[in-house]
Amino acid sequence: MVSNRGRVVVLGAGSSGEHFVGALRRLDPDVEIVVVERELAGGECSYYACLPTETLLRPAEALAAIYATLPVRIRIAGNVSLAVQSVDTITDGGFRGRGLFVKLAKATYARAAAAGATLVYGFPNGHSAHGFFERLAWTPLDPVPFLIRPLRTRYLVERLPLGAYARFLPDLPLFVSLDPVVGRLGRLARLGRPGRPSRIERVTRFDERATDLWQAVAGDTLVGVERDARYLNWRLVDKPLEDYDNVAALDGDRMAAFVSHCVKDKHGGRIGYLMEALVRPGGRPALRTLISRALGDMTRRGADVALAWCLPHAPSYGALLQAGFVPFPVRYRPIELHAGVRAFDAGLAGTVAARARWYLSYLDSDTV
């Protein structure tokens, strides 16, 4: 006898696909289900984003709201502890006005504090910022330290009030690398102290030299995510579906500086992101060379502009200015972002609320 039972094919094994399969299986335990997924079964969050501390309010018939945080290790004045980064919040239109966002955030913070987390920090957008600052007791760290370095005239022309005249202006490159070592990885170059040769190498995996570099940068004063080899490998090497270019300048057996970058089509253009630029005290010439190399690669890959996050007191700030980066005026930024923090440990509140203590880069962004 031929069975009339069919086969259900589910396209996509992300969060929605998983929930659909679960609901269908509960409805009919014997149904044959085939799931088709070309990338990550379970979706990106299951691998590297918000799942570890995601909080849900879920009535039987609908997903009402989510608030997601990501656990990180934070360095605060020389001591490393657990913290959480706020990465995502959304409330279904039919459930807004009921205080779900605040309820979820407070529940998440209570869980995090009970687990030993010392703070929550993040970069809320213009739609949600008032909730964090006015209802969740966050302290502003604004402005987000955007720096910009135009690479082609098109990016500037399209954003200036030139009207019909803009179409007559040519699209010209604004960066030409004059550094003799750009694109010549492994070649000896005078990058470090005078008379001492260094070499440039692509980093396929970070080791204790990267940890030592970060500790030299952070010292006993800065506040920031612990950028040791373990973190850098997780963020820049092992992250699925991403391809970061990581290059270091070596001074003997030490890492004098390293730079990471990528190029993406975002915000209506082709954007080069300087993800990180760490430099040991006295290593600015090496860092300038690495930044020049990164800008050259962005230009060859068709980027219209390079963006970076860097606070003025960071060791890399001067080298970025020398490379042509300038503070990005708030009104011209492609998105409205804010920066803020809330300490769970009252004894740390004054330290982490001081913007001049923080170290930030695009590694802190959860969207690049």
Per-residue confidence at 195, pLDDT binned at 50, 70, 90? very low
Over residues 234-248, the mean pLDDT reads 93
Task: Quote the CA–CA distance of 363 and 367 in Å, as a whole number.
Answer: 10
Which of 246-283 are b and which e, b meaning 16 or more Cβ less than 10 Å from the residue's Cβ? bbbbbbeeebbbbbbbbbeeeeebbbbbbbbbbbbeeb
Winning range, highest mean pLDDT, from 48-57, 93-102, 240-249: 240-249
- pLDDT of residue 49 exceeding 70, the answer is no
Task: Quote the CA–CA distance of 279 and 217 in Å, as a whole number.
Answer: 7
Task: Quote the CA–CA distance of 320 and 313 in Å, as a whole number.
Answer: 12
- pLDDT of residue 50 exceeding 60, the answer is no
Query: Strands 326-327, 146-150: parallel, antiparallel or unpaired by DSSP?
Result: antiparallel
Task: Quote the CA–CA distance of 309 and 318 in Å, as a whole number.
Answer: 13
Dihedral-angle region of residue 241 (phi above 0 means left; psi in -120 to 50 means alpha; beta otherwise): left
Q: What is the per-residue pLDDT for 92?
A: 84
Which domains occur in the chain, in start order? 1-43 (no CATH), 51-140 (3.40.630.30), 146-331 (3.40.630.30)
Q: What is the per-residue pLDDT for 2?
A: 41
- pLDDT of residue 54 exceeding 60, the answer is no
Average pLDDT, the chain: 83
Q: What is the per-residue pLDDT for 96?
A: 86
Q: What is the per-residue pLDDT for 268?
A: 77
Q: Which residue has the higher pLDDT, 296 or 15?
A: 296
In this predicted model, what pLDDT tens digit does every residue of 321-341 receive, in sequence order?
A: 999 999 999 888 888 999 999
Above pLDDT 90, what percent of the chain?
58
Over residues 216-225, the mean pLDDT reads 93
Q: What is the per-residue pLDDT for 187?
A: 45
Among 12-16, 95-99, 237-241, 299-303, name the one with the lowest average pLDDT: 12-16
Q: Of 297, 192, 225, 214, whose CA–CA distance to 81 is shortest?
A: 225
Over residues 186-191, the mean pLDDT reads 45
Over residues 285-306, the mean pLDDT reads 94
Using DSSP, state whether 263 is helix, strand or coil. Answer: strand
Above pLDDT 70, what percent of the chain?
75
Among 10-14, 36-40, 296-300, 333-337, name the one with the lowest average pLDDT: 36-40
Q: What is the per-residue pLDDT for 333?
A: 84
- pLDDT of residue 60 exceeding 60, the answer is no
Over residues 75-96, the mean pLDDT reads 91
Over residues 208-217, the mean pLDDT reads 96
Per-residue confidence at 310, pLDDT binned at 50, 70, 90? very high
Count of other CB atoms within 10 angstroms of residue 223: 25
Contact 37, 240 (CB under 8 A): no
Task: Quote the CA–CA distance of 200 and 223 in Å, as a whole number.
Answer: 29
Task: Quote the CA–CA distance of 256 and 287 in Å, as a whole number.
Answer: 8
Per-residue confidence at 55, pLDDT binned at 50, 70, 90? low
Using DSSP, state whether 85 is helix, strand or coil. Answer: strand
